[in-house]
């Protein structure tokens, strides 16, 4: 997998990962806290890269995930950026909110202030 991200200047990471996720909220899926510092209104995306884990490492993380939803391990890299581009060998599929959307590469960017809401 290769990740390029723009936060002032374009940087690139090339590594093998179990999971690559781009979020703008702290949780993923059913409450897994992959990006605890993420905020919906900061104009940034949170790129989370989880290194390949062996079965023992995954099993060791499950109790904390079930109890708190927190995902703390030195095998996670978190980066904030305004734009992220992910690509993978073999054209891996990407999904958005649980729906398959297409094959990589995919580019995701944030549009600050694009959504306006009326509240009482």
In a domain, 114, yes or no: no
Contact assessment for residue 44 and residue 110, using Cβ atoms and an 8 Å cutoff? yes
Q: Any idea what the CATH number is for the domain that residue 15 is in?
A: 2.60.200.40
Which of 80, 78, 64 minimizes the C-alpha distance to 31?
Answer: 64
* Buried-state track 86-104, b at ≥16 Cβ within 10 A, e below 16: bbbeeeeebeeeeeeeeeb
pLDDT tens-digit series, residues 47-96: 999 899 899 988 888 888 778 777 777 888 999 999 999 998 887 899 98
In a domain, 73, yes or no: yes
What pTM was computed for the model? Answer: 0.83
Query: What is the tally of structural domains in the chain?
Result: 1
| H or E element, residue 67 | helix 55-68
In a domain, 116, yes or no: no
Structure tokens at 21: 């996720």
In a domain, 36, yes or no: yes
């Amino acid at each position: 997998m290769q990740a390029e991200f723009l936060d002032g200047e374009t940087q690139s990471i090339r590594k093998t990962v179990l999971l690559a996720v781009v979020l703008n909220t702290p949780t993923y899926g059913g409450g897994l806290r992959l990006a605890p510092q993420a905020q919906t209104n900061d104009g940034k995306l949170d790129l989370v890269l989880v290194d390949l884990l062996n079965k023992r490492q995954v099993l060791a993380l499950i109790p904390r995930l079930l109890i708190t939803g927190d995902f703390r391990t030195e095998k996670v890299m978190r980066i904030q950026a305004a734009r992220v581009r992910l690509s993978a060998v073999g054209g891996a599929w990407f999904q958005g909110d649980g729906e398959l959307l297409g094959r990589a590469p995919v580019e995701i960017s944030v549009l600050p202030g694009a959504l306006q809401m009326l509240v009482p």
